[in-house]
């Protein structure tokens, strides 16, 4: 019998994603490759992220990581999107090393969202 590949936080975020969806007319960051897609949308007011949502097609780790990113950055300054920590989210969600590329794709998407927000101002 194998060990459970998902920790309790992955299971919680996957089962009850509070940030799934889109922000109407929000800035967008998007990634698609090898069957995995991540779309982040956000609205910023006075340099801070007011609302942030995601749509993700991938494994439970990808969906949980997108939810975690929204929870982490919503309400924070836009500039903090550049400080997304791949290592921290992999540790928090117990993401196996073989899925590092998927979390790096989320990092690229978070940073492209930050650029899209900045380009709007």
Span 15-48, pLDDT tens digits: 999 999 999 999 999 999 878 899 999 999 999 9
The CATH T-level fold of domain 8-120 is: Sufe protein. Chain: A (3.90.1010)
Return contacts of 11-17, CB within 8 angstroms, 24+ apart.
Answer: 11/60, 12/64, 13/63, 13/64, 13/67, 13/68, 13/93, 14/60, 14/63, 14/64, 14/67, 17/54, 17/63, 17/66, 17/67
pTM of the model: 0.93
What does the pLDDT read at residue 35?
84
């Amino acid at each position: 019998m194998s060990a459970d590949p998902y920790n309790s936080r992955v299971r919680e975020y996957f089962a009850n994603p509070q940030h799934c969806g889109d922000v109407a007319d929000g800035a967008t960051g998007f990634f698609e490759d090898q069957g995995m897609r991540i779309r982040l949308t956000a609205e910023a007011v006075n340099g801070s992220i007011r609302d942030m949502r995601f749509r993700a097609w991938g494994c439970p780790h990808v969906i949980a990581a997108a939810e975690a990113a929204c929870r982490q950055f919503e309400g924070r300054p836009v500039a903090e999107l550049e400080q997304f920590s791949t290592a921290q989210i992999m540790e928090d969600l117990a993401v196996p090393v073989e899925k590092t590329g998927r979390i790096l794709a989320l990092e690229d998407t978070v940073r492209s969202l930050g650029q899209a927000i900045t380009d709007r101002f």
